[in-house]
Amino acid sequence: MAIKTSDTLPDATLVKLGAEGPEAVELSTLLNGRKVVIFAVPGAYTPTCDSAHVPSFIRTKDSFVEKGVHEIICISVNDPFVMGAWGASTGATEAGITMLGDPEAAFTKAIGMEFSAPPAGLITRSKRYAMLVENGVVSLLHEEAAPGQCDVSAGEALLEAM
């Protein structure tokens, strides 16, 4: 069953590319006592993710901070090396967006947001969504109707809903 507003996110171990290589990140440590935006994409370097979704959060990052958001996290079913390179190439890392991989889709499956699109080569990926999470509880959730759309899950749409 898919996650919904007022649900508590399950804990998950995600990965990021650190200075010495892959590092495990416990999602609960990023959420505990904090206001966090999480947005997920079907895949790093895919057209809509690269040209629309990530840039929308780079553009709106300062406005989220003004509204009390402590961190913006991008999650994709990709490995930490891809997420690190993608964060660098888009400017997301430099902008202060945390790029986390969910390589086995464990978190994505746990919240019911997985999908597959074999013709595009996307097997067990994340649906496109954005959520506001306060102390681990989902307070806003915007899920796109189709993976190629970036309307309700864009940074501007989530920011406006706050």
Who's near 146: CB < 8 A, 6+ residues apart? none
Compute the distance between CA of residue 34 and CA of residue 47 in angstroms, rounded to an integer. 31
pTM of the model: 0.95
Q: What confidence score (pLDDT) does residue 148 get?
A: 87
* Residue 3 is assigned to a structural domain of this protein: no
Q: Which of 12, 25, 44, 49 is catalytic?
A: 49
Task: Read off the pLDDT of each residue in 136-157 and give the average, rounded to a whole number.
Answer: 94
3-class SS of residue 32 = coil
* Residue 7 is assigned to a structural domain of this protein: no
Which residue's entry shows tokens 């990965």? 15
* Residue 2 is assigned to a structural domain of this protein: no
* Residue 50 is assigned to a structural domain of this protein: yes
Q: What confidence score (pLDDT) does residue 91 get?
A: 97
Instruction: Decide if pLDDT at 47 tops 80.
Output: yes
Instruction: Decide if pLDDT at 84 tops 80.
Output: yes
* Residue 48 is assigned to a structural domain of this protein: yes
Query: What's the whole-number average pLDDT of the chain?
Result: 95
- Domain span at residue 111? 13-161
What is the domain count for the chain? 1
Q: What confidence score (pLDDT) does residue 117 get?
A: 84
Which residue's entry shows tokens 């892959």? 22
Which residue's entry shows tokens 């171990």? 13
Instruction: Decide if pLDDT at 116 tops 90.
Output: no
Q: Where residue 1 falls among pLDDT bands split at 50, 70, 90? A: confident
Residue 128 near residue 48, CB atoms below 8 Å: yes
* 74 noted as active-site residue: no
Which residue's entry shows tokens 């499956």? 109
- DSSP lists the bridge partners of residue 16 as 23
Per residue in 49-80, pLDDT (tens digit) is: 889 999 999 999 999 999 999 999 999 999 99
Compute the distance between CA of residue 38 and CA of residue 144 in angstroms, rounded to an integer. 14
Q: What is the CATH number of the domain that holds 47?
A: 3.40.30.10
